[in-house]
């Protein structure tokens, strides 16, 4: 094989095309910079998504088919996208702007300036407009799972709120997590990236960056492997790194950039799934993922919401139950709702680049995290019984048949035996004062680097508690706006 490298010169290079990378690509294109975007995954159209089954899309659009193990007790399955548009192609389309109190706390704790709610408000407005973000209303005959959650919460006097989503003309096909087949979800692939292309950006799919070469605080070369395995060498003036909360620190470690700090403490949320059987029809399959969230315990980092239900997810979620139980639930699927409790962890994940190209994820969730998980499941089960559930399928293959059984279950339950998943990782290369654990300055530059900006989930100072896409995008907008405004000349 010809081992020679093709050398490509460019002004600005964006690595990764998800929530952060797409914002950078669009802003740079609008500034007349004609950026080049390198994306490891494939480019897929709505027609492609519609033509294939959810299982096929899962394998094609996710890294490790959606099941990257985070080792620990228990081993947690991590899901992230790997395609043009990144994880926004497979996410739920929920779009929350960064909460003002969270931004104020980050400013205090991490010593960052100019990222308060008032500074990010113009970006939030732009995101809302471009992604058609609005509160999704329930339809008369669908989203009964959300309505039941709201009813249960009302009965207990707990707060809920409507979901704000990035959608246009949602047809409730319930396939958000394997790529919207109708083009309703306003992922980066349908919004920011087409804008970027119109402004002169080029996107190279199936192109994996392997290393950043640097000298004296300047990235001089970005090495990549192209669609046919060819070795590529890019020589950009400016690099925007947005390979995701795990991909970004892995690349930095491979490149010897802040390799001892990058990816050492990754903030994350975990999800625990419950199924509830109701006497009345729920028909959760005819719904969107959800339209209502239980927010009563949001200050503790706990949210409860419906999640998507198909025969496949139901069977997988009941793994370990005897076959007749699974068969019974599948036969009665129209009376079943699937719910998830999302919990912010305080014990971090660590990501390490392995020799030969792999990565190793491990976690150290703490006793206090386990306590919070137990509490979250207890509250979720309680609200489902208040909504009229006759059975709640809880972790550890336990079937609860009365609200009175919930306390006894959670008192003995051990989250180290639960099936947990995570789809939100953040803050692996945090912005902030170096004396307070920060790795990047207010421009997203790793300290000591002049032409490298991190502008994805990795650069957030901590866990958001809410769905992170809106916060990631707002930070990326601000990072690129600062760069464009200053346009520091750099000699390579
Ligand atoms: C099932 C699911 C549901 C979710 N639902 C929501 C939701 O409703 N609302 C919300 O706010 N968040 C949600 N999220 C999370 C949210 O989508 C992500 O946090 C967000 O997209 C992260 O943005 P990012 O730019 O950091 O990374 P990503 O969007 O993941 O983009 C990173 C991109 O970089 C590429 N890349 C990585 N390494 C390389 C490399 N070496 N070379 C080239 N390219 C590379 C990847 O292939 C990927 O396309 C969900 C996630 C999942 C998995």
Structure tokens at 298: 């949001």
Mean pLDDT of 391-397: 96
pLDDT tens digits, 467-477: 999 999 999 99
**Ligand 1 atom at minimal distance to the Cα of residue 80:** 53
Residue percentage of the chain with pLDDT more than 90:
87
Rounded to 10 degrees, the C-alpha dihedral 464/176/350/355 comes to -150
Of the candidates 87, 69, 145, the one whose C-alpha atom is nearest the C-alpha of residue 420 is: 69
**Mean pLDDT of the region 340-348:** 95
Please give the structure tokens belonging to residue 366: 């703490």
Decide: 267 and 258 in contact? Cβ < 8 Å. Answer: no
E strands of 364-430, at which residues? Answer: 391-394, 398-400, 420-426
What's the mean pLDDT in 256-264? 97
Kind of pairing, strands 218-225 and 208-215? antiparallel
Longest dimension (CA), the chain: 69
Out of 464, 469, 475, 476, mutate this one to test ligand 1's pocket (max ligand atoms within 8 Å of CB): namely: 469
Q: For residue 122, how far is its CA from the centre of ligand 1 (angstroms)?
A: 23
C-alpha 46 to ligand 1 mean position (Å): 18
- What is the pLDDT, as a whole number, of residue 75? 96
Residue 30 CA to ligand 1 center (angstroms) comes to 23
| In-domain check, residue 210 | yes
Q: What is residue 3's predicted lDDT score, i.e. its pLDDT?
A: 60
Does 184 reside within a domain? no
| Residue whose structure tokens are 């080049």 | 36
Task: Please state, in angstroms and rounded to a whole number, the distance separating the CA atoms of residues 13 and 222.
Answer: 9
Determine the atom of ligand 1 nearest the C-alpha atom of 248: 38
Is there a single domain that holds both residue 416 and residue 473?
Answer: no
- For atom 9 of ligand 1, which residue has the closest CA? 94
Check pLDDT > 90 for residue 171. Answer: no
Q: Is 19 in the pocket of ligand 1 (CB under 6 A)?
A: yes
- Name the domain count of the chain: 2
Distance 389 CA to ligand 1 centre (A): 34
CA separation for the pair 219, 23 (Å, rounded): 21
For residue 472 and ligand 1, the question of a CB distance below 6 A is answered with yes
How many angstroms separate the Cα of 469 from the Cα of each of 23, 79, 240, 305, 331?
A: 11, 15, 18, 17, 36
Enumerate helices (H) and strands (E) in the chain, giving the number of each: 13, 21
Nearest-CA residue for atom 21 of ligand 1: 87
Do residue 432 and residue 421 come from a single domain? Answer: no
Q: Whose CA is nearest to atom 4 of ligand 1?
A: 91
* Of the residues 405, 426, 447, the one at which a domain ends: 426
**Does residue 317 sit within a domain?**
yes
**Residue 446 domain-assigned?**
yes
457 Cβ inside 6 Å of ligand 1: yes
**In a shared domain, residues 333 and 308:** yes
Pick the range with the lowest mean pLDDT from 23-27, 136-140, 202-206: 136-140
**What is the mean predicted confidence (pLDDT) over 128-136?**
92
Atom of ligand 1 nearest to the CA of 21: 25
The rounded Å distance from CA 177 to ligand 1 centre is: 12
* Range of lowest pLDDT (1-10, 151-160, 269-278, 406-415): 1-10
Asked if residue 55 is part of any domain, the answer here is: no
Contact of 93 with 166, CB cutoff 8 Å: yes
Residue 89 inside a domain? The answer is no
Which of the residue ranges 156-165, 311-320, 476-485 has the most confident prediction, judged by mean pLDDT?
A: 476-485
- Least confident range from 172-181, 281-290, 432-441, 482-491: namely 482-491
Q: Is 359 domain-assigned?
A: yes
**What is the four-CA torsion angle of 447, 451, 454, 455, rounded to 10 degrees?**
140
Query: Which of 392, 407, 426 represents a domain boundary (last residue)?
Result: 426
pLDDT digits (tens, 9 = 90+) for 410-458: 999 999 999 999 999 999 999 999 999 999 999 999 999 999 999 999 9
What are the distances in angstroms from CA 176 to CA 109, 269, 289, 394?
A: 35, 19, 7, 24
In a domain, 69, yes or no: yes
The CATH number assigned to the domain holding 210 equals 3.50.50.60
Same domain? For 109 and 145 the reply is no
pLDDT at 159 over 70: yes
Residue 466 DSSP one-character state: S
81 lines ligand 1 (CB under 6 A): yes
For residues 110 and 151, membership in a common domain is answered with no
- Strand ranges in 284-380 using DSSP code E only, listed in sequence order: 292-294, 302-306, 336-344, 349-353, 359-363
Length of the chain: 492
Whether pTM > 0.75 for this model: the answer is yes
Q: Tens digits of per-residue pLDDT, 60-88?
A: 999 999 999 999 999 999 999 999 999 99
**Is 25 close to ligand 1, i.e. is its CB under 6 Å away?**
no
How close is the Cα of 18 to the center of ligand 1, in Å? 5
Question: Structure tokens of 322?
Answer: 């005897």
**In angstroms, what is the span from residue 64 Cα to ligand 1's centroid?**
13
Q: Are residues 379 and 442 in the same domain?
A: no
Regarding the beta carbon of 39 and ligand 1, being less than 6 Å apart is answered yes
Same domain, 305 and 196: no
Find the domain containing 205 and state its range: 1-43+96-130+189-263+428-492
Same-domain status, 153 and 76: yes
Let me know: does 288 contact 454? Beta carbons within 8 Å.
no
- Give the mean model confidence (pLDDT) for residues 1-26: 89
Measure 88 CA to ligand 1 centroid, in angstroms.
Answer: 6
Dihedral of the CA atoms 250, 252, 257, 259 (nearest 10)? -10
pLDDT surpassing 60 at residue 489:
no
Query: What distance in Å separates the CA atoms of residue 116 and residue 436, rounded to the nearest whole number?
Result: 18
Please say whether the beta carbons of 117 and 101 come within 8 A. Answer: no
Task: Evaluate: CB of 247 within 6 angstroms of ligand 1.
Answer: yes
Assign 491 a pLDDT band (cuts: 50, 70, 90). very low
- Residue at a domain's end among 389, 405, 426: 426
pLDDT band at 1 (very low <50, low <70, confident <90, very high): very low
Tell me which long-range contacts 59-64 makes (C-beta under 8 A, separation of at least 24). Answer: 61/89, 61/90, 61/178, 61/179, 62/90
Q: How far is the CA of 248 from the centre of ligand 1 (A)?
A: 11
142: confidence class by pLDDT, cuts 50, 70, 90: low
Please give the pLDDT value at position 308: 85
Q: Has residue 361 got a pLDDT over 70?
A: yes
Q: CA-to-CA distance for 130 and 145, rounded, in angstroms?
A: 29
In the predicted structure, residue 492 carries a pLDDT above the cut 50:
no
Task: Assess whether 337 and 446 both reside in one domain.
Answer: no
Across the chain, mean pLDDT equals 94
Residue 356 sits in the same domain as residue 420: yes
Banded pLDDT at 207 (limits 50, 70, 90): very high
Ligand 1 neighbourhood includes 245 CB (under 6 angstroms): yes
Residues 169 and 216 grouped into a single domain: no
How close is the Cα of 318 to the center of ligand 1, in Å? 27
| 196 and 286 housed in the same domain | no
């Amino acid at each position: 094989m010809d081992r020679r490298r093709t050398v490509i010169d460019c002004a600005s290079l964006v690595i990764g095309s998800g929530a952060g990378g797409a914002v950078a690509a669009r802003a740079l294109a609008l500034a007349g910079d004609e950026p080049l975007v390198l994306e490891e995954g494939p480019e897929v159209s709505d027609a492609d998504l519609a033509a294939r089954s959810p299982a096929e899309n899962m394998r094609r659009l996710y890294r490790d088919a959606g099941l990257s193990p985070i080792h620990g007790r228990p081993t947690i399955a991590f899901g992230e996208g790997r395609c043009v548009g990144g994880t926004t192609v497979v996410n739920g389309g929920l779009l929350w702007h960064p909460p003002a109190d969270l931004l104020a706390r980050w400013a205090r704790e991490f010593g960052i300036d100019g990222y308060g709610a008032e500074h990010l408000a113009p970006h939030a407005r732009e995101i809302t407009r471009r992604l058609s973000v609005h509160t999704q209303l329930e339809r008369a005959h669908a989203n009964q799972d959300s309505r039941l959650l709201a009813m249960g919460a009302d009965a207990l006097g707990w707060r809920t709120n409507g979901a704000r989503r990035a959608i246009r003309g949602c047809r409730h096909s319930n396939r958000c997590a394997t790529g919207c087949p109708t083009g309703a979800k306003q992922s980066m692939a349908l919004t920011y990236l087409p804008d970027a292309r119109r402004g002169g950006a080029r996107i190279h799919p199936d192109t994996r960056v392997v290393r950043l070469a640097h000298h004296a605080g300047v990235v001089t070369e970005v090495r990549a492997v192209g669609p046919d395995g060819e070795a590529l060498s890019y020589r950009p003036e400016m690099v925007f790194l947005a390979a995701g909360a795990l991909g970004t620190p892995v690349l930095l470690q491979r490149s010897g950039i802040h390799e001892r700090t990058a990816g050492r403490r990754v903030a994350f949320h975990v999800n625990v799934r419950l199924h509830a059987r109701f006497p009345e029809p729920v028909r959760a399959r005819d719904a969107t993922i959800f339209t209502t969230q239980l927010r009563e315990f949001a200050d503790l980092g706990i949210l409860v919401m419906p999640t998507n239900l198909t025969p496949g997810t139901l069977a997988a979620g009941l793994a370990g139950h005897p076959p007749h139980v699974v068969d019974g639930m599948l036969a009665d699927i129209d009376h079943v709702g699937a719910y998830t409790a999302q919990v912010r962890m305080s014990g971090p994940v660590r990501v390490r680049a392995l020799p030969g190209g792999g990565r190793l994820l491990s976690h150290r969730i703490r006793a206090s995290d386990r306590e919070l998980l137990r509490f979250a499941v207890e509250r979720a089960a309680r609200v489902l019984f208040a909504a009229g559930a006759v059975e709640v399928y809880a972790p550890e293959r336990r079937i609860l048949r009365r609200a009175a059984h919930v306390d006894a279950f959670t008192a003995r339950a051990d989250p180290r035996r639960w099936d947990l998943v995570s789809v939100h990782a953040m803050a692996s290369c945090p912005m902030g004062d170096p004396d307070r654990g920060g790795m990047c300055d207010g421009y997203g530059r790793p300290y000591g680097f002049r032409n490298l900006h991190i502008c994805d989930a990795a650069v957030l100072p901590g866990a958001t508690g809410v769905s992170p896409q809106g916060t990631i995008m707002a930070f990326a907008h601000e990072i690129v706006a600062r760069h464009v405004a200053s346009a520091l000349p750099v000699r390579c």
